[in-house]
Amino acid sequence: MDQVILVDENDCPIGIEEKLKAHQEGKLHRAFSIFIFNSKNELLLQQRAFGKYHSEGLWSNTCCSHPRPKEKILDAAHRRLQEEMGFDCELKEIFSFVYKANLDKGLIENEFDHVLVGRYNDQPVINQSEAASAKWIDAQSLIADMQNNPKQYTFWFRECLGKVLDNIERKTIIF
């Protein structure tokens, strides 16, 4: 069984828990969200696989997951990007945030989420057990669709997209 790193409000590890149990009980745990942009500043979206333990079929950022016990965020991010989307690239952490949300299937997401960005210009080779689909989209089209269809997007993606795009627009991120 997959395990997650339980953390306090400062992201200091306080224990290990089985992933599903942590989500059933809403325990705060470490996670990461990756946003990959191409040279046209389009964002690579992932549609979560149907059959995922929560948020199945919803659109989200390029990749999101949890580090394993004793695994560094950046190492985990590279591992999961390759496993889910079939490629790897340079990644940079730009901010972190905490959120809590009631999800489908009676699960509770309570994460200290590290947000990373990277650049990639080819098409992904998605792992069908992780992602049903993927597509590149420009920010304006994405924002319009999210306003019209918010329930088609994951909670955490809706929570942090604005700050990611603000960093891109202000050119505070150097790729």
Give phi and psi for 56, each to the nearest 5: -65, 140
Concatenate the DSSP letters of all residues of 85-126 into one string.
HS----EEEEEEEEEEEE-GGG-EEEEEEEEEEEE--S----
pLDDT, tens digit, 9 for 90 and up, residues 14-42: 999 999 999 999 999 999 999 999 999 99
The verdict on whether 160 is a catalytic residue reads: no
Which one of 17, 63, 64, 109 is the catalytic residue? 64
What are the φ and ψ backbone dihedral angles of 50, each rounded to 5 degrees?
Answer: -75, 130
Of 84, 111, 130, 160, catalytic? 111
Q: What is the pLDDT of residues 111-123, one digit of tens each?
A: 999 999 999 999 9
What pLDDT digit, counting tens, does each position of 87-145 carry? 999 999 999 999 999 877 789 999 999 999 999 999 999 999 999 999 999 999 999 99
**pLDDT for the residue numbered 173:** 59
Domain 3-169 top-level CATH class: alpha beta
64 is catalytic: yes
Task: Say if residue 54's pLDDT is above 90.
Answer: no
